[in-house]
Amino acid sequence: MVIVGIVFLAILSLFLVYGFLPSYLNKQKFFRKKKPEGNAIYLTFDDGPSEYTEKLLQLLNRYQIKATFFCVANFAKERKNVIEKMKQSGHVIALHSLKHKNSMLQGIIETKLDLEKSLQTMEALEVFVKYYRPPWGDANWYLLHELKKKKIPCILWNVMAEDWEADTTEEIIADKLLARVKKGDIICLHDGRGKKEAPQKTILALEKVIPIFLEKGFQFKTIDEYKI
């Protein structure tokens, strides 16, 4: 029984040092980062591309807004035409892992393979990754080390609207965005995954809030224009 307890504590300590603590400190460092001056806000989208992304691109094009898409590499491979449309519209295409797995549950070898395969997949699509956002914002020690070595910034967010939730609506998402977004914020939304056609609700919410944000004098910019 004592041996079991010792093994459990050893595993728990390893998880804390390798996974939880680096992820926590990375989040705190990013969230405390001083926001850029000016009226810029930064629309970012995770978990795509999906069957909803083209409609989102049409909405952004209507207002001549550029955004940053953190794509899941395997999804990008399946929707090469959507990636091309992102390029043509001048959006920034970044990386959101290979298969959307939480890196705190990945060992070093799996993390290494995930990152390498992700980058190779994106390069095959002629996307040369400059930014990375880990699923759920969680990043183990090895992932953070590799990103730093490759000079790929880990980009998190300042505002979410919980747009993936099954019981949310476009009205709820819009109200959250209008209440929470301030100048300098990086807004994290989702153009893929989620429950009960969640990305469709996000698009409908944006149709409402984009004109309001523009009336308020906000300028939509990409992460390329964010002071890292």
**29, 78, 100 from 33: Cα distances, Å:** 6, 35, 26
pLDDT category of residue 84 using cuts at 50, 70 and 90: very high
Burial state string for 182-200 with b = 16 or more CB within 10 A and e = fewer than 16 = eebbbbbbbbbbbeeebbb
In tens, the pLDDT along 181-199 reads 999 999 999 999 888 899 9
Q: At what angle do helices 53-62 and 80-89 cross, to 10 degrees?
A: 10
If you average pLDDT over residues 63-86, what whole number do you get?
98
pLDDT category of residue 9 using cuts at 50, 70 and 90: very low
How far apart (Å, rounded) are the C-alpha atoms in residues 176 and 188?
Answer: 12
**What pLDDT is recorded for position 2?**
52
How far apart (Å, rounded) are the C-alpha atoms in residues 197 and 191?
Answer: 10
Q: Is the preceding peptide bond at 49 cis, omega within 30 degrees of 0?
A: yes
In tens, the pLDDT along 97-112 reads 999 999 988 999 999 9
How far apart (Å, rounded) are the C-alpha atoms in residues 8 and 25?
Answer: 24
